[in-house]
Structure 1
Amino acid sequence: MTNTPLHGLVIRDAIVRIPGTGYIYAADPAREADGVPHAITFKYQQGRFIRGDANYDAFALALVSHPEPGLVSVAGAGYYSAISASGSVSGDLFDNSNPLPPVPRTGGIRAVASIGGRAFAVGLRGMAYRLDQPRQWTRIDDGLPADFDVLAIDGGSDADLHAVGRGGGIWHFDDRGWQVCESPTSAALRTIHCTDAGDAYAAGDGGVLLQRRNGVWETIEHGCTRDTIWSLAGFQGQLYAATLSTLYRIEGNGLVEVDFGNDRPASCRRISVCDGQMWSAGDFDLMAFDGERWSRIV
């Protein structure tokens, strides 16, 4: 990272839009230690870094196509921004949402994801929201229990959602509303990935890895790592899993460590994919893969 504008910063999230172009949100450790809300933002485009700044702790990103193509970022306290060609909108998710929850909410967002082209934000105490307009989130968590801390969400569409979280909790949303799923684990599930074929994978603490087959969630006993799996993603027909230090490719019931060649990153954690490229982002490393060769961005 010494030869990039991110030197001395910690990457919070990075997302690829098209090959060679994406967005990086980072933080200054000194400002974090002082409790100063901020994010240092970069648009990366073919080797160029275009810097910006935000005055809230944006930590998670999602690319959307509705209500118009753009980038959505969220912070744990509920602050968000939606950036598109028509301009930038920022606000408080809890203020800009309906219907109002039975108990007022002031924080606890843990993730944002793009599903069917729309942004979905989830968090503690059974929270789930969908961004329908730049200044309007719709609360969709009626039916989720308040003791279910949601840590991740994915799905095939806005009418086919899976939410996972602490205690191994798994809930599914369809035209009947939210329904609890039988889970084979009590470990916190921190990521979920739904495939185009209709299968789903979830992972989390202790290296737990689950697969949903024919509507039943089962444990994949890979025996490869006890490290927390923070991210899952599919790229060119293969499924990948990331811990803080290692990127794996899932093959059958096992995990195979990805070979980065002579420039292995020291940190991983977040996987992002687009048509033709995959990014692996850690606290201090950002790598790009085109299906044949890895290259370093940061």
Structure 2
Amino acid sequence: MVVPVKFVSACAVSDTMAMIATIPDAVEGDAKFTRIYYLNLQTDELWHYVDWPDHEVVSVCLLRATEDRPRAGCAMTGGGRIEIAKSQGATYEDIPGAGLEGSRGLGDLTKIKEIGSRLFACGGMGQVYRRDPQGWVAIDDDIVGAARRLLEAEPDGGSDRATQMRQRVERPRALPNFNAIDGTSENDLYVCGLGGNLYHYTGSWEKVDIGRQNILTSIHTVSAEETWVAGQDGLVMRGSARAGFQSIGMLFPDSYVWSVRRFRGETYLGTLHGLYRLVGDRAVLVKSEGLDDRTHVIAMDSVGDDAMWIASDRHAFLHDGAGIKIYRHGDNP
């Protein structure tokens, strides 16, 4: 029996391989199950998979090879359980205190990413973790402290009841629940999330004022002076903490950009209504086989400037600079 799968996270492993976390459509209710695919263009059978029962992966990333270790694919659950899969097999780690049911009780994690030579993870209530040689450590005390104070603050005493109720509703929307993390090195990284929260880390945290409250969903750092941030209402910004961020525009009112990627000198935007290329301050729909204004684009990633992987919720695509080729998943419509 063929069971369709929904793609939930994807990353580039190389120009010819992508890692994709999926959830079979047959998984129902509170059940947890993840099927992780490796799409390898250098093998006769393109799609290979491993199952991770009883776990729901929210994010995957590449751990690049060094002199001391081979490359690995990393998959993380919202609770901070991590599978590190190498060709020789997989190992498992837990981020202490992370997740909704962790000892810190701060909410689920959302994203894992290698930045510099370390893995980082981020999530609810300002959580940010770094994987050091001795294990995972939290580097978020200042942000988490501010989030706790905001959540626990009483409404203004002089306000009328309606204003107090509004404050109780609006304050959680301003919490630094992080959706994405990226950077150039261990001491030059960004996290972004709800309420227009954008933070920059250089050994300590600094909040970057963007002058907006939009939910921020995606980051791509190109260099120390060029970071792209996108999110609610199609907000797209470019800049750096040092020079400030400039808004390109609100390109999709009442919609979101879920992924932003700079590739071969052009900026691409992934939405639930297609893949777009930024032309000046306009978003132009990219059309190709399997790509149109009904395509749910969930991720874009690359290891260099030769090829960019694009994942929809059902299929994968490879952009080689000359064109985009679809790699259909055999179980999906």
**Percentage of matched positions with identical amino acids:** 22
Match of 2:262 in 1: 234
Match of 2:127 in 1: 127
Matched, 1:188 2:186: no
CA distance in structure 2 between the partners assigned to 1:210 and 1:6 by the alignment? 42
Matched, 1:157 2:185: yes
1:22 partner SS = strand
Q: Deviations over 1:47-84 (max 9, x none)?
A: 52112100210121111236732111111122211123
Hey, which of these two has a bigger chunk of helix by percent?
Answer: 2
- Report runs of 4+ in structure 1 exceeding 6 Å deviation: none
- Equivalent pair of 1:62/1:119 in contact (CA under 8 Å): no
Match of 1:267 in 2: 296
| 1:28-43 alignment runs, 5 A limit | 28-31=24-27, 33-43=28-38
Find 2:20's aligned residue among 24, 30, 35. 24
Q: Deviations over 1:125-163 (max 9, x none)?
A: 110011234x82121112213242111111111101111
When structure 1 is superposed on structure 2, of 69-78 and 249-258 the one drifting more is 249-258
| Offset at residue 192 of structure 1 (A) | 1.0
CA distance in structure 1 between the partners assigned to 2:195 and 2:253 by the alignment? 20
TM-score, normalization by structure 2: 0.78
- Equivalent pair of 1:222/1:255 in contact (CA under 8 Å): no
1:137 partner SS = strand
Which runs of 5 or more residues in structure 2 are unaligned?
Answer: 148-174, 329-333
> Residues 86, 285 of structure 1: CA spacing in aligned structure 2 closer, same or farther, 3 A cutoff?
closer
Match of 1:210 in 2: 237
Find 1:51's aligned residue among 46, 49, 52. 49
Match of 2:59 in 1: 60
- Equivalent pair of 1:222/1:254 in contact (CA under 8 Å): no
Root mean square deviation, CA, Å? 2.5
- Equivalent pair of 2:219/2:260 in contact (CA under 8 Å): yes
CA distance in structure 2 between the partners assigned to 1:6 and 1:80 by the alignment? 28
When structure 1 is superposed on structure 2, of 195-204 and 60-69 the one drifting more is 60-69
> Residues 12, 171 of structure 1: CA spacing in aligned structure 2 closer, same or farther, 3 A cutoff?
same
**Structure with the greater alpha carbon radius of gyration:** 2
TM-score, normalization by structure 1: 0.87
1:212 partner SS = strand
CA distance in structure 1 between the partners assigned to 2:141 and 2:274 by the alignment? 37
1:162 partner SS = strand
Q: Deviations over 1:24-43 (max 9, x none)?
A: 21101221x23211101112
Matched, 1:110 2:110: yes
CA distance in structure 1 between the partners assigned to 2:223 and 2:72 by the alignment? 23
| Length, aligned pairs only | 286
> Residues 209, 192 of structure 1: CA spacing in aligned structure 2 closer, same or farther, 3 A cutoff?
same
CA distance in structure 2 between the partners assigned to 1:162 and 1:267 by the alignment? 26
- Equivalent pair of 1:224/1:254 in contact (CA under 8 Å): no
Q: Deviations over 1:178-209 (max 9, x none)?
A: 01111121011011111136211111111111
The letter for the 1-side match of 2:5 is L
Which runs of 5 or more residues in structure 1 are unaligned?
Answer: none
Match of 1:285 in 2: 315
Match of 2:152 in 1: none
When structure 1 is superposed on structure 2, of 240-249 and 78-87 the one drifting more is 78-87
